[in-house]
A and B are shown apart, each in its own frame.
Chain A
Amino acid sequence: MSTDIASSESIGEINKYDFRTESKAFFKARKGVDAEIVNQISEMKNEPEWMRTYRLKALEIFNSKPMPSWGGAIDINFQDIYYYLKPTDKQGKTWDEVPQEIKDTFDKLGIPEAEKKFLSGVKAQFESEVVYGSLKQDLADQGVIFTDTDSAIRDYPDLVREYFGTIIPSTDNKFAALNSAVWSGGSFIYVPKGVKIEFPLQAYFRINAENMGQFERTLIIVDEGASVHYVEGCTAPMYTSESLHSAVVEIICKRGSRCRYTTIQNWANNIYNLVTKRAVAYADATMEWVDGNLGSKLTMKYPAVYMLEPGARGEILSIAFASKGQHQDAGAKLVHCAPHTTGQIISKSISKGGGRSSYRGLVKVEKGAKKSKCNVVCDALILDSKSRSDTYPYIEILEQDVSVGHEASVSRIGEEQMFYLMSRGLSNAEASTMIVNGFIEPLVKELPMEYAVEMNRLIQLQMEGSVG
């Protein structure tokens, strides 16, 4: 696979994600969060009583929990955010059924085109609701479910109820509680036993309106011996005021299954991206998180894998790029709960133009998880003296017979590397972009080609976007 560095495309002009769509909401709740709003959301969705109760309980938990005392500085007025905006009265099964202006939005983002070329299925969420959904017929015929979580509650109530909130309870943290109270949209995936989905399923999350909060809820169940690759992309236009994206993603990898979850997050630089993502892996199952964080004002996100039975494997690859005014507090969490489990964390972060990136990771080996192996590598690259990088590795090992490794490196972009490339005719900007692309190459080459190209393009945008 060739991922051409410093791609030849012309992208210098404007950030292509920074555009607003004039879209009339079908329904927009008033600002703020309280029991009335939560009830209203539940009513709009015509939900079963258990979910309404679940939401209200979560709201209490949210109100009772203090803000986290660690991570980044969060300055959010929770009452100044819209929690629910329904953009259209129904979900399209074809793009023609989606309101024109929303369809145009996703056209600009290249989703229908990607769908035709290399995806098994697509969900497109605009504000609070999934406005378009598709799944290849042969997968549907094999019993694969790929729908939005609201529809799943209606159509597969038993399956959802069995797993919803079991991996990340509302009590987990303040933002998981908030999501549990006001969640809307997100993907629900069920892959039946032995079914291997060849091409990725993709979801695209778009915030369009000002002060709009997005709280999607994703639940993925990969049954025994099955496999799936799920990809999510996220963007929003730039507004003067801050907004919030707070998702919860729960994944269950049953015995011998495989799940890869790839995120390319490119939120506008005024969005707080506070997300809880966690997977459990049973015997011989493999869970991989590939987590690319390029946008947002502050991201706090630590995808986790709990390895519950022998042979389970958890891998987390994380790329964070913090430019001017950005703080990427990203990382990973691996918990070895059974013998012969294997974990790996590779984290690469880049700080530039006064940006700050932090790696925050936990490796925990429980008593009895003998012969478990875990390896953590985190490399940080700092492009200038205004920028900052921190590493917060936590390691808790309660079992003797294990192998745990941790390597960390921080480097500044080398004068000698810059001179070498420039002495071969590369400009200063080209040389630093090439060094950065080289730095993240070990991760980018793990991505399917289309996303690798996208990732390199985004890196180039970041390199151009915040000069000085």
Chain B
Amino acid sequence: MSHILRIENLHVAVDGKAILRGVNLEMKFGETHAMMGPNGSGKSTLGLAIAGHPNYVITEGTITLDGEDITAWEADQRARAGIFMAFQRPVAIPGVKTADFLRHAATNVRRPDRKEGEDLIPMRDFRKELKAKMSQLKIDTEFARRYVNDGFSGGEMKRAEILTMAMLSPKFSILDETDSGLDADAVKLASASIAEIGRDKMGLLIITHHDKLLEHNPPQFTHVMLGGRIVETGGAELARELHDHGYERIRKTYPDAEAANQEMLAKEEAVVV
């Protein structure tokens, strides 16, 4: 399989404020990319813009998937085309059982052309598959009957996101700080799960501050974002350097981007997702 996700000169604004200022990125199916950078540099914004969040307005540039321009597509079209994002803080949908939600989502993503609402994956097949995936990810089967993200602990939410990723098997997956707010054991479990589900089976864009996730999922490419741009790209060694020494060198080397970053932070703390 060869799929390519290409981001060209992407500019994104939220509430009229510019966040991304010309991001270029190319990912191939099977590759693992790490996206690093200090707070407020625009990492999550990039993820949400790729996933199609309506509040993240693309003011310039394009996103193409296998040559098709998906810049103007709605989030559901993108999901059906194979784009997935595991959220840092997924919202709860009270009253909707996780299993029902996943059955609808998986059916739509796998057979995007059928008439909506019809011909869901047969219940028996779906349950079997879900059960297998849950046991692979060491998730209690009771989970399926709980309401989507409702009252979940931080660890449960992240694992639910990984389970969703496993059920939807996207072409490209963006993992937004899937390790944040977890204790060491939970990070280990999440990292191993991502490796098992995602490695070589999709393109992974891992947004992270930490190195644990990357230990299990060594990136071929590490990107550093600052002030809404990717200022440097390297291999796994760059991720290690940033982890060991922080962003001091980056901030000094790219004073313009650093200024933009400070300006964004000052303007709107709340924009940082």
The interface of chain A, by Cβ under 8 A from chain B, is: 4-8, 10, 414-417, 419-431, 434-435, 437-442
- Ordered by A's residue number, 5 sampled pairs between the chains whose C-beta atoms are within 8 Å are A4-B120, A416-B91, A422-B79, A424-B105, A425-B168
Docked-complex contact B95 and A425, CB < 8 angstroms:
no
Contact of A426 among B108, B118, B147 (CB under 8 A): B108
B100 within 8 A of A: yes
Chain B's closest residue to A379 (CB) is B94
Distance in Å from the Cβ of A179 to the closest Cβ of chain B? 36
Docked-complex contact B85 and A423, CB < 8 angstroms:
yes
Docked-complex contact A428 and B117, CB < 8 angstroms:
no
Distance between Cα atoms of A442 and B150 in the complex (Å): 14
> For chain B residues 105-142, which have a beta carbon within 8 Å of chain A?
105, 108-109, 112, 115-120
Report the tally of A-B residue pairs with Cβ distances under 8 A.
99
Contact of A437 among B52, B76, B96, B168 (CB under 8 A): B96
Distance between Cα atoms of A419 and B72 in the complex (Å): 15
Distance between Cα atoms of A429 and B118 in the complex (Å): 14
> For chain B residues 141-167, which have a beta carbon within 8 Å of chain A?
147-148, 164
Docked-complex contact B117 and A5, CB < 8 angstroms:
no
Residues of A within 8 Å of B74, CB to CB, are: 422, 428
Give a binary string over B39-58; 1 marks a CB under 8 Å from any A CB, 0 the rest.
Answer: 00000000000011111000
Docked-complex contact A438 and B95, CB < 8 angstroms:
yes
Distance between Cα atoms of A441 and B97 in the complex (Å): 10
Q: Interface majority SS on A: helix, strand, loop or mixed?
A: helix
Docked-complex contact A427 and B96, CB < 8 angstroms:
no
Distance in Å from the Cβ of B114 to the closest Cβ of chain A? 11
- Most chain-A CB neighbours within 10 Å: which of B51, B78, B95, B100? B95
Give a binary string over B80-97; 1 marks a CB under 8 Å from any A CB, 0 the rest.
Answer: 100011010011011111
Distance in Å from the Cβ of B45 to the closest Cβ of chain A? 14
Residues of A within 8 Å of B251, CB to CB, are: none
> For chain B residues 195-223, which have a beta carbon within 8 Å of chain A?
none
Distance between Cα atoms of A420 and B88 in the complex (Å): 12
Distance in Å from the Cβ of A213 to the closest Cβ of chain B? 37
Residues of A within 8 Å of B85, CB to CB, are: 423
Q: A423-B51, A425-B76, A428-B76 are in contact. List 16 more A-B contacts (CB 8 A).
A: A8-B117, A8-B120, A414-B91, A415-B54, A417-B93, A420-B90, A421-B93, A422-B79, A423-B76, A424-B164, A425-B104, A425-B112, A430-B108, A430-B116, A435-B93, A442-B95
- Size band of the B side of the interface? 35 or more
Known: A415-B55, A426-B76, A427-B76. A439 touches B94 (CB 8 A): yes
Docked-complex contact A5 and B100, CB < 8 angstroms:
yes
Docked-complex contact B93 and A425, CB < 8 angstroms:
no
Residues of A within 8 Å of B119, CB to CB, are: 8
Known: A422-B74, A424-B101, A425-B168. A434 touches B93 (CB 8 A): yes
- Most chain-B CB neighbours within 10 Å: which of A420, A430, A435? A420
Docked-complex contact A426 and B93, CB < 8 angstroms:
no
Chain A's closest residue to B90 (CB) is A420
Docked-complex contact A434 and B55, CB < 8 angstroms:
no
Docked-complex contact B96 and A426, CB < 8 angstroms:
no
B75 within 8 A of A: yes
Distance between Cα atoms of A427 and B118 in the complex (Å): 13
Residues of B within 8 Å of A426, CB to CB, are: 76, 104-105, 108
Docked-complex contact A420 and B95, CB < 8 angstroms:
no
Distance between Cα atoms of A430 and B109 in the complex (Å): 13
Docked-complex contact B91 and A417, CB < 8 angstroms:
yes
Docked-complex contact B76 and A422, CB < 8 angstroms:
yes
Residues of A within 8 Å of B93, CB to CB, are: 417, 420-421, 434-435, 438
Distance in Å from the Cβ of A207 to the closest Cβ of chain B? 30
Known: A438-B95, A440-B95. A419 touches B54 (CB 8 A): yes
Residues of B within 8 Å of A431, CB to CB, are: 76
Known: A5-B96, A422-B74, A441-B95. A430 touches B147 (CB 8 A): no
Docked-complex contact B116 and A429, CB < 8 angstroms:
yes
Docked-complex contact B104 and A6, CB < 8 angstroms:
yes
Known: A425-B79, A439-B95. A419 touches B168 (CB 8 A): no
Distance in Å from the Cβ of B53 to the closest Cβ of chain A? 5
Distance in Å from the Cβ of B178 to the closest Cβ of chain A? 15
